Amino acid sequence: MVKVLVTGCNGQLGSEFKLLVKEFPNFSFLLTDVDDLDITDYHQVEIFFKKYMPDVVINCAGYTAVDKAEDEPEKAMWLNRDAVTNLAAAGSLCDSYMVHISTDYVFNGKNIRPYREDDIPSPVSIYGLTKLAGEEAMMSCLQFGMIIRTSWLYSSFGNNFVKTILKRCAEKGELNVVTDQFGSPTYARDLAKAILEILPAAMSSKQFEIFHYADEGECSWFEFACEAVSIAGLPCRINPIDTKGYPTKAQRPAYSVFDKSLIKNRFGITIPEWRESLKECVEELRVGHGA
């Protein structure tokens, strides 16, 4: 029985892991959040690891408030780099295999083709800088493990674009959404399931690997919003605007589509198309699932 520690289990990705526990009976899960394990406290992390000796660590925790990070760079670095260092250092003592979730924000968004794993990161925001620092911290501590960069993550749990759009449409009936930023929406359940499916093969490789994972297809935020509202059947008008018309404190990558051929070829997985997964999530929200 492989013992899997999941951090950040009350977030949107961590909550999806909780739903998948019964589908993967060969794994024994330790599901934790800050009340159970404060990953910013190395002493606490080391004690926890020595007690439970996890075979795998899946780090879903992190600072994800992109705009707020511009005003709280130390706090963002604390959670996105230092906590990763703690997990990796403690994991190295127990020979734990670590899976860390990173982001498209490590890139500047100036590519004219989908980003590959070997493209050079160049973040344009504090959030992106701290996530890249977390990747580097993990690589400096561990000889084997896996970083998965994902993009435009959403779920029926937590705070995310889909839930915000549907809520605001229900309240206002009209919204402005940017149409000149492009990426690939990713249903958190698809990502969680993919990680658990590829985990045995990844662990046996004894390598350090970086992969890109997002649902298939690409769109603008405007197209993403329109599709969500259409599926939900809300009488809401979505107006297309450019980035200049919707200023934010943190700069966003204008283009962050991923090339996913490496993870598909390495593990033989099939990745769902983003519209189909969005239908599944909106249905979850319609019947009252999530939080």
Whether residue 94 lies inside any domain: the answer is: yes
13 occurs within a structural domain: yes
**193-207, 232-246, 277-291: segment of lowest average pLDDT:** 277-291
| Confidence band for 288, pLDDT divided at 50, 70 and 90 | confident
pLDDT of residue 167: 94
When pLDDT is cut at 50, 70 and 90, the band that residue 291 belongs to is: low
- Asked whether residue 227 is assigned to any structural domain, the reply reads no
Determine the pLDDT at residue 287. Answer: 79
Q: Is residue 33 part of a domain?
A: yes
CATH code of the domain in which 80 resides: 3.40.50.720
Q: What is the pLDDT, as a whole number, of residue 290? A: 61
CA distance 141 to 143: 7
| CB-based contact 130:77 (threshold 8 Å) | yes
Average pLDDT of the residues in 242-258: 94
pLDDT of residue 37: 96
Task: Please compute the mean of the pLDDT values over residues 263-278 and round it to a whole number.
Answer: 98
- Is residue 123 included in any domain, yes or no? yes
pLDDT score for 24: 97
Q: What is the pLDDT of residue 192?
A: 98
Does the residue 106 lie in any domain?
yes
For 156-207, how does the pLDDT look when each residue is reduced to its tens digit (9 = 90+)? 999 999 999 999 999 988 999 999 999 999 999 999 999 999 999 999 998 9
In the prediction, which pLDDT does 83 show?
98
Among the listed residues 63, 97, 115, 127, the single catalytic one is 127
Number of domains in the chain: 1
Average confidence (pLDDT) over 211-226: 98
Q: What is the mean pLDDT of residues 15-30?
A: 96
pLDDT band at 154 (very low <50, low <70, confident <90, very high): very high
Report the relative pairing of strands 56-59 and 2-7 from DSSP bridges: parallel
Query: What is the extent of the structural domain holding 193?
Result: 2-160+185-215+257-272
Mean pLDDT over each residue of the chain, to the nearest integer: 96
Q: Give pTM, 2 decimals.
A: 0.96
DSSP-derived secondary structure for 81-146: IIHHHHHHHHHHHHT-EEEEEEEGGGS-S--SSPBPTTSPP---SHHHHHHHHHHHHHHHH-SSEE
Tell me if residue 152 falls in helix, strand or coil: coil
Distance CA 81, CA 135 (A): 8
User: Is residue 241 in a domain?
Assistant: no
Percentage with pLDDT > 90 across the chain = 94
pLDDT in tens, 99-146: 999 999 999 999 999 999 999 999 999 999 999 999 999 999 998 999
127 catalytic residue (yes or no): yes
| Residue 31, domain member (yes or no) | yes
